[in-house]
Homo-oligomer: A and B are copies of this chain.
Amino acid sequence: MAALMRGSRVLFSNLSQRILVARYLSNGDGSSNPIGFIGLGNMGSPMAKNLLDQGYGVVVHDIFPESVDDLRQLGAGVAETPDEVAMKTNKIVTMLPSSPNVIEVYKGIKGLFNSVQDGTLLIDCSTIDPALSKEISEMASEKGATYLDAPVSGGITAAKAGTLTFMVGGKEEGFEQAKDVLMSMGKNVIHTGPNGTGQAAKICNNMLLAVSMIGTAEAMNLGIRLGLDAEMIAKIINSSSGRCWSSEVYNPVPGVLEDVPSSNNYQGGFMTALMTKDLGLAQNASSSTMTATPMGSLAHQIYRIMCNKGYANMDFGSVFKFLRDDK
């Protein structure tokens, strides 16, 4: 159904229509409850808009009034606190920058857990420590609610295009209930296992991504220093065993590929600061599970140094620039 609706997205292209349709559309589970949405940042805002576009009623909350106004003008209801969102609906999406925000929104004085209704579905799309996801899922359980950790991959571009991938940890029945809502914001929804495994999948993938990106940057740079043409070394790697996503579709050397951040001065893409945050989560998870991750650990440190040296807001492929530039 989600796919069907996405095909007909043009139908809802003006505001009054969207509101009208929203009133009459069931919210997927037969109820007319709106979807609660907390966290309207770079990712959350386009995700909430996609829900509106798909005909869902949406009640939003964010601590920044401007973010809220934007959605209000598109027809969303507004709540002053997470607490109030929990009173108004029983299906809630959260998309927050980091662990402390999640703690505040769920467990804070005006948090969701103050007023969460029995049977509520909580879908947390934030990328946080898997251990925190587990802890919150247990608290949700005690309150009669179901919590899913559902971090995303794809970045801002995919958030806008509604093509995110969701990695969902939690109970099977919760996953089934969440599917339609998630398919309204993405194109790929994977049930990874029990609570925490959504986070685990996200941080493991990103740790490997960081490792292979830095490895690609080093190999390309060394090849160039040894006299190889950049496109030649990319071609050889991509037809050999060194091939990886970073070398093949996101090559960090300017000019090797078009339409990637490296060919746009490392603007857009996935910021070094965010990669560093994810690598920090991977290190926490490694420590707490007593797992050795030497390459992931070094990748974390390299990106941390880059953050301190002015690369925080560049795409994470800028590690090539960091290693190559004399300055």
Q: Which residues of A contact B (CB under 8 A)?
A: 130, 153, 165, 167, 188, 190, 192-194, 196-197, 199-201, 203-209, 211-212, 214-216, 218-223, 225-229, 232-233, 235-237, 239-247, 250, 280, 282-287, 289-302, 304-305, 307-310, 323, 325-327
> In the complex where A242-B212, A247-B208, A310-B327 touch, is A236 in contact with B292 (Cβ < 8 A)?
no
Complex CA gap A283/B204 in Å reads: 18
**Contact indicator B226/A200 (Cβ below 8 Å):** yes
Residue of B at shortest CB range from A280?
B287
With contact pairs A290-B307, A326-B308 given, residues A211 and B295 touching in the complex (Cβ less than 8 Å): yes
Number of copies of chain A assembled together:
4
CB-CB under 8 A for A242 and B240, given A215-B211, A286-B222, A290-B307 = no
Q: Kindly list chain B residues whose C-beta atoms are within 8 Å of the C-beta of A227.
A: 193-194, 196-197, 200
Residue in B196, B211, B236 whose CB lies within 8 Å of A192: B236
A205–B241 touching, CB < 8 Å: yes
The 5 closest A-B pairs by CB, nearest first: A211-B215, A244-B244, A200-B226, A208-B242, A208-B219
Complexed CA–CA distance, A203 and B228 (Å): 12
Q: Check A222 against B153 for contact (C-beta < 8 Å).
A: no
Q: Is A208 touching B197 in the complex (CB atoms < 8 A)? A: no
The residues of B that contact A239 with a CB separation of less than 8 Å are 165, 188
CA distance in complex: A130, B167 (Å): 33
